[in-house]
């Protein structure tokens, strides 16, 4: 199931002009505060009627202003997860979940026990929302939305009200949801590391316009986009597979650029992961370095170099994937880097945070 969105809307002093396709997987709408993310979600949900637009899935037109089609929100088959979970406080978790089920079409809806299992809610079923942590409330809200058998899941910053430990607890559930359901997820966020961890498709909004849309791995590794996304958070994703657990608290992984050693990842050998490596944590060397404390030395080839007043962003091909390195212009000049050159990328093991390691 794929969602297509084309919208044009004029607020006083603000124009929304957005065009993108959200394939199965998780599509992140990323942009600064006021860039139009919630307005897009509201238009998809049917809360905002744009001046012009067309929003459709493979089998349903939700909105087509040119033919006066505008399905009301309750007929759009959407699951909506808000920043605050908005559970009914007087109902137990089980009753809150069943409320979602009540809206489902009787046929081929998801199985209650499957959703409870997917989101790890068994032990919580008899509790009321007042006795749940923020992360647990979010999981119940996601479960309730899924049980309404949605064709599309809308999530508007579901992490906004959560502290870091609660966020870390919820991330794997969203990954499972992304990987195990065929429902496209439209996910609003202004946190790039979270987007890098979760998104399969990325839509970058800037002042109401969708500047870029496409596979998240490609856009995040594009040096031309890094300034718009935020240089500090710039970083690309590579995939790797766990090969062994070391006795010294490190996990060995196989990547296209060579072996990697990262702080212990509690998953068995064979687990495939996607790892975000921040551009500012990558050091470049023309020769394979010797006698270095950094454990991770990947071999690749320079594909692009972007120079600016903020330094140089160098894109490297590591197998079929890309890595970004942020270095000074002075280093780029001293090393005489040029596209096509073979290069070694060095990354300290401890530079890769657990929150930047996700499922593939
Ligand atoms: N009902 C409205 N009437 C007038 N202007 C509006 C309305 N809704 C949104 N806007 C304008 O649209 C712009 C985008 O708002 P929107 O809430 O979609 O942005 P956002 O990216 O979701 O922001 P945030 O991350 O802060 O939630 C805002 O600057 C606001 O001026």
Tell me the sheet residues that pair with 312: 307, 327
Tokens 């942020």 found at: 326
> For 109-210, where are the alpha helices, taking DSSP H only?
112-118, 134-147, 164-180, 192-198
Residue in this structure with the two tokens 């870029």, named with its chain if needed? 212
Domain ranges of the chain: 3-230, 235-359
Give the pLDDT confidence score for residue 118 in this predicted structure: 85
DSSP state of 345: E
pTM over 0.90: no
What pLDDT was estimated at residue 148?
86
Q: How far is the CA of 37 from the centre of ligand 1 (A)?
A: 8
25-76 pLDDT tens trace: 999 999 988 999 999 999 999 999 999 999 999 889 999 999 999 999 989 9
Share of the chain above pLDDT 70, in %: 96
* Residue 31 CA, closest ligand 1 atom number: 21
Query: Nearest 5 degrees, angle CA 7-CA 12-CA 13?
Result: 90
Identify the architecture of domain 235-359 in CATH.
Beta Barrel (2.40)
Token pair of 89, please?
């406080």
Cα separation values, 10 from 43, 204, 270, 325, Å: 13, 19, 51, 39
Distance from the CA of 36 to the center of ligand 1, in angstroms?
5
Classified as helix, coil or strand, 147 is: helix
Q: 3-230: which CATH topology?
A: Rossmann fold (3.40.50)
Place of tokens 């997860």: 81
- Asked whether the domain spanning 235-359 has the same topology as the one spanning 3-230, the reply is no
**CA–CA separation, 177 vs 180, rounded Å?**
5
Tens-place pLDDT, residues 197-233? 899 999 999 999 999 999 999 999 999 888 888 878 8
What pLDDT is attached to residue 233? 83
Which residue's entry shows tokens 């790797």? 240
Candidate from 32, 39, 47, 49 with most ligand 1 atoms within 8 A of CB, to mutate: 39
pLDDT one-digit tens code per residue, 29-42: 999 889 999 999 99
Instruction: Report whether pLDDT(14) > 90.
Output: yes
- CA-to-CA distance for 300 and 319, rounded, in angstroms? 7
Element (H, E) at 52: strand 52-56
Question: Given the CA of residue 42, which atom of ligand 1 is nearest to it?
Answer: 18
Edge-first strand listing for the sheet containing 201-206: 69-70, 61-64, 52-56, 3-11, 14-22, 209-215, 201-206, 26-30, 185-189, 152-156, 78-81
Position in ligand 1 atom list of the atom nearest CA 208? 14
What distance in Å separates the CA atoms of residue 273 and residue 127, rounded to the nearest whole number?
34
Q: How many CB atoms lie within 10 A of CB 180?
A: 10
Q: DSSP string covering 304-317, please?
A: EEEEETTEEEEEEE
């Amino acid at each position: 199931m794929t969602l297509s969105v084309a919208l044009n809307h004029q607020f006083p002093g603000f124009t929304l002009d957005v065009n993108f396709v959200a394939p199965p997987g998780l599509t992140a709408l990323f942009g600064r505060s006021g860039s139009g993310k919630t307005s897009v979600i509201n238009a998809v949900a049917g809360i905002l009627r744009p001046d012009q637009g067309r929003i459709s899935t493979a089998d349903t037109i939700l909105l087509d202003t040119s033919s006066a089609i505008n399905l009301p929100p309750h007929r759009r088959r959407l699951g909506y997860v808000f920043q605050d979970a908005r559970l009914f406080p007087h109902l137990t978790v089980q009753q809150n979940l069943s409320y979602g089920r009540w809206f489902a079409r009787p046929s081929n809806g998801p199985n209650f026990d499957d959703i409870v299992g997917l989101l790890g809610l068994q032990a919580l079923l008899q509790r009321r929302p007042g006795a749940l942590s923020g992360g647990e409330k979010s999981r119940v809200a996601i479960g309730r939305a899924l049980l309404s058998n949605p064709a599309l899941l809308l999530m508007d910053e579901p992490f906004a009200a959560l502290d870091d430990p609660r966020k870390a607890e919820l991330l794997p559930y969203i990954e499972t949801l992304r990987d195990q359901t065929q429902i496209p997820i439209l996910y609003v966020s202004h946190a790039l590391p979270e987007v890098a961890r979760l998104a399969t498709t990325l839509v970058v909004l800037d002042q109401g316009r969708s500047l870029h849309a496409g596979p998240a791995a490609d856009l995040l590794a594009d040096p031309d986009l890094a300034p718009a996304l935020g240089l500090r958070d710039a970083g690309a994703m590579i995939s790797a597979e766990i090969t062994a657990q070391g006795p010294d608290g490190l996990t060995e992984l196989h990547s296209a650029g060579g072996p990697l050693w990262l702080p212990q990842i509690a998953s068995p050998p064979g687990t495939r992961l996607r790892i975000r490596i921040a551009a500012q944590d990558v050091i470049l060397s023309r020769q394979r370095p010797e006698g270095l404390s950094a454990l991770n030395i990947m071999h690749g080839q320079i594909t692009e170099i972007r120079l600016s007043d903020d330094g140089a962003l160098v894109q490297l091909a590591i197998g079929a994937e890309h890595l970004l390195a942020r270095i000074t212009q002075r280093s780029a000049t001293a090393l005489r880097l040029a596209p096509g050159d073979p290069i070694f990328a060095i990354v300290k093991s401890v530079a890769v945070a657990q929150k930047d390691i996700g499922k593939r």
